[in-house]
Amino acid sequence: MVSEPPPATGLRLEWQDLPQRVQTAVEGWLGCCVTSAVTQPTGFSPGVAARLLAADGRRVFVKAVGPEPSPLAGEIHRQEAQIVRELPPEAPVPRFLWSYDEGAGGWILLMFEDVDGRHPAQPWRGDELDRVAEMLIHLSADLTPSPVRVPSASEKIDRHISGWRLLRDAPPAGLDDWSARHLERLADLEETAPAAVAGETLLHLDVRADNLLLTPERVFLVDWPHTCRGAAWVDMLFFAPSVTMQGGPEPEALLFRHPAARAADPAAITAALAAVAGFFTHRALQPPPPGLPTVRAFQAAQGTIARRWLARRAGLE
């Protein structure tokens, strides 16, 4: 456990920082003016994330980005819009209401129902973690087979999560000793990860405390741009290092709450974990993306836990 986990925050803009034309479009869709806007500080999007109160008493949540500081953020929002409009209504996801999109080089805004919830407590409380774990187990069952056409987790890992191979080919300054000693073995394990995560469950692939909202009755999962389909246990595995980092149990104890993980090939779990550990280790050593000054420290802390977990599972002490 990290004593003080790094914050999950980007450089937030305020509602009033949006161009007037975007604010006008929102009020046009609402049919009345916005009387208050409360910025939500957590999350890594370098833009607006705000709960709005309309003059007629309705409450909505909006997230918006422009072409600066990160030109990639707009495409991430577009990907999320495509996914959330196709999710089944029973999924624990805030209802998607509307989007405003100026296209490449402009602003994009997504509007959702406002969930009157909060993020899990930090450090993690046992009862709240129980609720989240139960939600993820039920969600994986409800979303098998995937109700949405999305890329496979195998494809996503093969193309975008290849940290150990990148580090092996060009070891950077600052690489920890354990990783440097085992780079060949770690890269070999990582190469088996795409086959290991194959499956037909719709996956979120970015479950973290700042992407969860708790109400007295439900647990909601937000921010869906990285969605893919794969093995039912993958979301729990990707989630587990952040839980340990933020004061929760050891990652293996959390993972094996999922019945699909208990039934999985242990070698497949180790291979997928190698991909997760390589992703965090490699990304943590890169310069921070524009507008996201804390993300590398957040990744580094998860990488430390994922490597420790992988060392035990792979016998690479």
Between 23 and 43, the more confident residue is 23
User: 176 φ, ψ to 5°?
Assistant: -65, 155
Predicted confidence (pLDDT) at residue 181 exceeds the cutoff of 90: yes
For range 206-222, the mean pLDDT: 97
Largest CA distance in the chain: 62
Question: What confidence category does residue 3 fall into, taking pLDDT thresholds of 50, 70 and 90?
Answer: low
CA–CA gap between residue 161 and residue 228 (Å, rounded): 13
Q: Tally the residues of the chain.
A: 317
For range 220-236, the mean pLDDT: 97
206: Cβ–Cβ under 8 A, 6 or more apart, which residues?
223, 225, 226, 238
Selection from 86, 92, 103 nearest residue 229 by Cα: 86
Task: Please provide the average confidence, as pLDDT, over all residues in the chain.
Answer: 95
CA–CA gap between residue 184 and residue 230 (Å, rounded): 26
Which amino acid would we find at residue 159? R
For range 167-179, the mean pLDDT: 95
Selection from 285, 254, 252, 245 nearest residue 270 by Cα: 252
Predicted confidence (pLDDT) at residue 187 exceeds the cutoff of 80: yes
Instruction: Work out the number of other CB atoms within 10 angstroms of the CB of residue 49.
Output: 22
Contact 135, 236 (CB under 8 A): no
| Residue 2, pLDDT score | 44
Q: Domains of the chain, with CATH numbers?
A: 15-113 (3.30.200.20), 126-314 (3.90.1200.10)
pTM, rounded to two decimals: 0.94
pLDDT in tens, 105-135: 899 999 999 999 999 999 999 999 999 999 9
| Residue 1, pLDDT score | 41
- What DSSP state is assigned to residue 123? S
pLDDT in tens, 233-267: 999 999 999 999 999 999 999 999 999 999 999 99
The distance from CA 88 to its chain's CA centroid, rounded to whole angstroms, is 20
| Residue 11, pLDDT score | 74
CA–CA gap between residue 161 and residue 282 (Å, rounded): 9
